[in-house]
Each structure stands twice: as C-alpha cells, then as structure tokens.
Amino acid sequence: MKKIINDPSNILDEMVSGLVRSYPQYLKRLEDTFVVARNDSNKTKKVGIVSGGGSGHEPLHAGFVGQGMLDAAVCGQVFTSPTPNEVLAAIKESDQGQGVLLIVKNYAGDVMNFDIAKDLADLEDIRVEQIIVDDDISVEDSTYTQGKRGVAGTILVEKIIGAAAQNGASLDELVALGNEVIAKTNTIGLALEPATVPEVGKPGFEIADDEIEYGVGIHGEPGYKRQKLVPSKELVEELVAKLDKSFNGLENKKFAVLINGLGGTPLMEQYIFANDVLNKLEEKNVQAAFTKVGTFVTSIEMAGISLTLLELTNDEWLDNLNADAQTIGWGDTSVK
C-alpha cells in the first residue's frame, strides 16, 4: 500500500483539518467534531441543508458545502457512517429557524444514524426532515443497503435542493422537490481497479489487469457482471442500455448528464467517455440540456467511472442546476 498519509488511524482528523485550513473562505470545522460547515459571509435566513456519510468519497460531501448547496456536511470515518451526535451538531449549526433537511444516501448505517439524529433534534424543538437518495440501478439489496444504493446522483440532488433553499423554498417544499428529483435520477458505474482502505491495507476486491466490473459500488461492493476490458464506446453501450431500461426509454427526452470519475480515473479518459456518451444520446434523440464531467463522488483511488442521468421533467430543475454556487467540489459559478 502506497499512500501519502501519516498514521492511518488519524486520517479523518488530518484530512478535515487540511480541508478547512485550505479553504477558510468557504469552510469551518465545528469544534471537537468532524463537521464541516459554511464559513462565508453570504448567509441568508433559509432552510438548513445537511448531508454527510463515510469519508473516502471526497469531494463528497464537504466539498459541496457553501452558498447554493449544503450548509454543513458530517464526515464519518473511511467508509463508515457518522455518529448521530455528529449529525446533530451539523443540524444545530445549520438551523436558522426554518427547519433542516437531511440528504442521506441509502446505506443502512447512514439511514439509521441520521434518523436517530433527527429524533434527537426533535427533542430540542428543531424541525428536521430527510430524503433518501437511491439512484444506483446496478443492483438492489447489496452490501450495506436495503434497496438501491445512493451514489453520484446525490450531488445533483444537493445542487437542486441547495438552489431551491437559497431561493426561499420551505422545508415541506424541499422534501417534495427532493423526492421528485430522486425518482428521476439513475446512476450506473464500473470499476477497472479497486480501492484500498488505509487501515485495512489491501484492496477491497481483486480484479485482473484486463478485466472490468459493471455496477460496483462506491465502497467496493460487488456489481452485476465482470468481463474483459473493452473500448470506451462499448462500455457506454452497456451503461446506456441499462439506463434506457430504467427510464422506460430515453428517446426524445431531456436529461442532465453527470459523468463522474471514481478517484483514479484521469480527466482525459473521462472526456473520452463523455464524448461517447453524448454521441450515443444523440443517436437516441436525447437532449443533453446540462452536462458536468469530473471527479465528484469517489471511492478513494478506485479507477472507474459512473454515468448519471436525471430526467428534466421540470424546467426549474435545470435553472437550479445552473444557479450560482460557491463550493470547492462543484466549483464557484458565481462569476459569469
């Protein structure tokens, strides 16, 4: 195992410290926690938006804290859910009297601990609601989950919800919006090489140099098929076919397209893949009204890629995706 670290048991503390010290214009760390919260001067009174989960998926979630997206993110240990008390600290920091919405990926530990924190907040008279992101169509009822996993589509949900909250939407309105967006968001990915959790010291799974695995999860959970490596165009054929089925057909529809590197995939390869995806969508007369390519939801250093499609059945969703945001991971879009 080769990693640029010190003590494997101290990775989370040092990572969070380095993150907030590098970007103090965006972020601060709540004392004695692994909670990262907004530190900018542009706050307005609105519903608080909180997300989080195990670390190792950076820039998710802390990289999306800032104006137009999240108010706080809770960082758990690597691939481990954050504790309810940490989530509660994020809730209290984000509450401005309008209530708080939790955006939770569908993993058993995350769902349980965020739900406990919600109950704890209720005891302190803070109204909290939550939505569960389950966009991965690869497999169901796999490691860590009951039902579908929450993966890269999470950031599209965070962006749309964050913009709506910034525009003054109520907590009830945000819950309804989030559930509508989640229902129209599907993701599928593949892995070329596994990731290594530092405290484990060995890869999470084994795969031959000339193989790929379709549908692998962001914690290294197994996918649905393993085969020999093929060119990008053939990878796209497989993934788009699965997405086509999940949407009951893609033809003549309008989508947001997110292409996400899983940590060890160069941008060169991501753009080649993106070119093939857009060509395939054009063949199906799909309008790609919004596209974003980059490394947003990772699995440490896993080599692989995921493709997310969000059917844009409401024009306001597109407006929200294009709205100003000032975060590390999404990028500062405030300057036109």
Q: Catalytic site residues?
A: 57, 219
Give, for 327, the enclosing helix (H) or strand (E).
none
Q: Which is nearest to 175 in space by CA: 140, 133, 134?
A: 133
- Which letter, b or e, does each residue of 299-321 get, where b requires 16 or more Cβ atoms within 10 Å of its Cβ? bbbbbbbbbbbbbbeeeebbebb
Looking up tokens 């389950």 gives 134
Give dist(CA 32, CA 35) in Å, integer: 9
Give dist(CA 240, CA 81) in Å, integer: 31
Give dist(CA 194, CA 22) in Å, integer: 29
Give dist(CA 57, CA 46) in Å, integer: 28
End-to-end Cα, the chain, rounded Å: 43
Label residue 105 exposed, middle or buried (CB < 10 Å: 0-12, 13-18, 19+). Answer: buried
